[in-house]
Amino acid sequence: MAAPPTTQQLQQWFSSIDTDRTGTITAAELQRAMGLGGLQFSLMACAQMVRLHDRDGNGNISFPEFSSLHMQLTEIRTAFSAAAQGGDSISGEQVAQLVAQQGYRIEPPALQALSKSFDPDRNGRFGLPEYTMLSLFLMSAKQIFGAFDPQASRPAAGTHGAGGHSGRVSLDFSQFVYASAQTR
């Protein structure tokens, strides 16, 4: 496995992506940089990447936030490459294995629906962009779910859920719309 990049390297990448020199990276700047790297993502997809790592909530990516985004994208790419073994796509079964390896427990019907929605041409194969989007979606879903989980912020007194999560949420329609909107 390649050595992790040095802070200096990361800083150079950050500066090269920050084309308008604002000291922050927007979704559009990220989209352009990924495109140059041969990965075509929609602006919406890049906005989701920004949102997932925008810890201070100012709508764009600072250098520390970029470091965590970069680490996440590297982890996704490493898992993908190991499964693809030199190829440029992986099967639905491999996606299911990777998802399980990351600790997600998802029932088969949900897993099938998940795969279908990230395989628009329905050929049962997932390239790196598709697998990345699927991973980001799951991460967002976990984050949003956790935010609505009533036990999330309390100690696990009397519950068996991991980290105090009850593992169940109850949403009204507005909350459902809010939650869905955050995952795309």
Closest to Ca ion by CB, 18 vs 149, is: 18
CA separation, residue 41 to residues 34, 95, 125, 132, 162 (Å):
7, 19, 17, 10, 34
In angstroms, give the least distance from the CB of 93 to Ca ion. Answer: 37
Residue closer to Ca ion (CB basis): 41 or 126:
41
Closest residue by Cα to residue 87 from 47, 131, 57: 131
Nearer to Ca ion, 18 or 130 (CB): 18
Q: Shortest distance, CB of residue 5 to Ca ion, whole angstroms?
A: 20
Least separation, in Å, of the C-beta of 46 and Ca ion?
A: 13
Minimum CB–partner distance for residue 19 and Ca ion (Å): 7
DSSP string, 7-27: HHHHHHHHHHH-TT-SSSB-H
Q: Which amino acid is at 107?
A: E
User: Given the complex with Ca ion, which of 58 and 180 has the nearer CB atom?
Assistant: 58
CB of 26 to Ca ion, least distance (A): 5
Residue 168's SS3 state is coil
Whichever of 68 and 175 has its CB closer to Ca ion, that residue is: 68
Binding site for Ca ion (CB under 5 A): 18, 20, 22, 54, 56, 58, 62
Q: How does DSSP assign 54-73, residue by residue?
A: -TT-SSSB-HHHHHHHHHHH
Helix then strand then coil, in percent of the chain rounded to 5, is 60, 5, 35
